[in-house]
Copies of this chain bind each other. A is one copy, B any other.
Amino acid sequence: ESSSGRLFLHPTSHLIHHDCLRDGPAQARLARGKVERLPAFTVEVVGHFARPLCPEHLHSLLRPGDVVVIELPQRMNGGRTCRWETLMEIRRLTAESGARLHMDGARLFEAKPFYGRDVREICALFDSVYISWYKGFGGMAGALLAASDSLISLAADWRSRLGGGLFTFTPQWLDAREQLRCHLGSFTQRFLRLQELVEAMTAEPALSLFLRFEPPAPESCLIHVYLKGSEDMLQAAHDGVLNALGLKLWNRLRGVGYPASFCDDDEEAQSEAGECYFEFNMGPANAQIPISTFLEGW
Chain A contact residues, CB within 8 Å of chain B? 18-19, 34, 37-40, 134, 140-142, 157, 159-172
Distance, CA A38 to CA B161, complexed state (A): 8
Contact assessment for A163 and B162 in the assembled complex, using a CB-CB cutoff below 8 Å? yes
A159-B166 contact, Cβ under 8 Å, with A40-B39, A171-B140: no
The dominant DSSP class at the A interface is loop
Chain B min CB distance to A200 (Å): 32
24 example contacts (A-B, Cβ-Cβ < 8 A) are as follows A18-B160, A18-B161, A19-B160, A19-B161, A34-B161, A37-B161, A39-B39, A39-B40, A39-B162, A134-B167, A134-B168, A140-B167, A140-B170, A141-B167, A141-B168, A141-B169, A142-B166, A142-B167, A162-B163, A163-B164, A164-B165, A166-B166, A171-B171, A171-B172
Residue of A157, A159, A162 ringed by the most chain B CB atoms within 10 A: A162
Distance, CA A142 to CA B171, complexed state (A): 12
Distance, CA A167 to CA B175, complexed state (A): 13
Contact of A159 among B134, B140, B163 (CB under 8 A): B163
Inter-chain contacts of A40 with B (CB < 8 A): 37, 39
Distance, CA A166 to CA B134, complexed state (A): 10
Residue of B nearest to A156 (CB): B19
Contact assessment for A157 and B39 in the assembled complex, using a CB-CB cutoff below 8 Å? no
Inter-chain contacts of A164 with B (CB < 8 A): 159, 162-165
Residue of A19, A160, A166 ringed by the most chain B CB atoms within 10 A: A166
